[in-house]
Amino acid sequence: MNEIKLFCPATIANISCGFDVLGLCLEAVGDEMIIRKSEIKGIKIIKIDGAELPLETSKNVAGVAALALLEATDCEFGFEIEIYKKIKAGSGIGSSAASAAGAVFGVNELLGKPFSKKELVQFAMKGEAIASGSEHADNVAPAIFGGITLIRSTKPLDVIKIESPSELYATVIHPQIELKTSDMRAVLKPEVSLKSAIIQWGNLGGLISGFYTSDYELIGRSLHDEIVEPLRGQFIPKFDLIKRMALENGALGSGISGSGPSIFALSKGVETANRIANTIGDVYKEMNLPYDIHVSKVNSEGIKIL
């Protein structure tokens, strides 16, 4: 095989109480990527459609991630990459992660799969550092593993995949403003109170237990962020109103997707997820603020070969 075409899914990071350690893979929205072998060594980004992003390998998250993988091999050839962006940069649903994860997944496939999924996450994290200033895995891990992932540790990397409850759906609304991950990290406080930490890790434990046991009520009770959301929510238009409307229309819970500005709601069943989508969209319509909205089942597979 000399060429591969991929679907590189969007992801929801944090899932309220799991800052930097929890992520969820979406099925309904993602980028596409074509990767092919080249006689010229190294990585060359030859096309980006749908976004103004750097073609220069060292400044592109896909290029940096793929190079990190290539440097761990003795490969005598190189690769060309075409990226077709469907996930807007700065949207909060893993745009940079889709590129980084897709690049390492595709190159690994064309090399005969010498690396494990966990190793691919480590290479993809190098790309994420270009976008956000830090190597984090809560988007790239669910993109590569699929389902829901827990990053127990990054040094050493320890990724646990959690299969999603069968009726769990996500509704994601993205107001057309951009919040850079690096800027949103800058608003966070380096220390938290013991009281807040206790509430947070109680919710995190409850949420993971709810996922494993398909206890939707427990999932709903646990979707609360005591630490990060109060600091970031103020930057998202009508955030509190949209959260309230989602809950009033049957959401299990709602919160900020990644660093925002996208807002997610989790629901039991597609009918509820669609009802929430129809309701919360009206908020931005009244503001004349353009937005995208997605209703998606959890993607259990992750990146898919097209």
In whole angstroms, give the CA distance from residue 41 to residue 208.
43
C-alpha dist (Å) from residue 227 to 99, 107, 189:
29, 38, 9
Per DSSP, the chain holds a count of helices (H) and strands (E) of 10, 11
What letter does residue 58 receive in the DSSP assignment? Answer: G
**Contact indicator for 151, 159 with CB cutoff of 8 Å:** yes
Q: Residue 86: how many CB atoms within 10 A of its CB?
A: 17
Q: Residue 95: how many CB atoms within 10 A of its CB?
A: 27
In whole angstroms, give the CA distance from residue 98 to residue 32.
9
Taking the CA atoms of 142, 147, 150 and 155 in sequence, report the sign of the dihedral they define. Answer: negative
CA atoms within 13 A on the CB side of 288: 0
Catalytic residues: 128, 181
Q: Is 106 helix (H, G, I), strand (E, B) or coil?
A: helix
Amino acid identity of residue 255, one-letter, is G
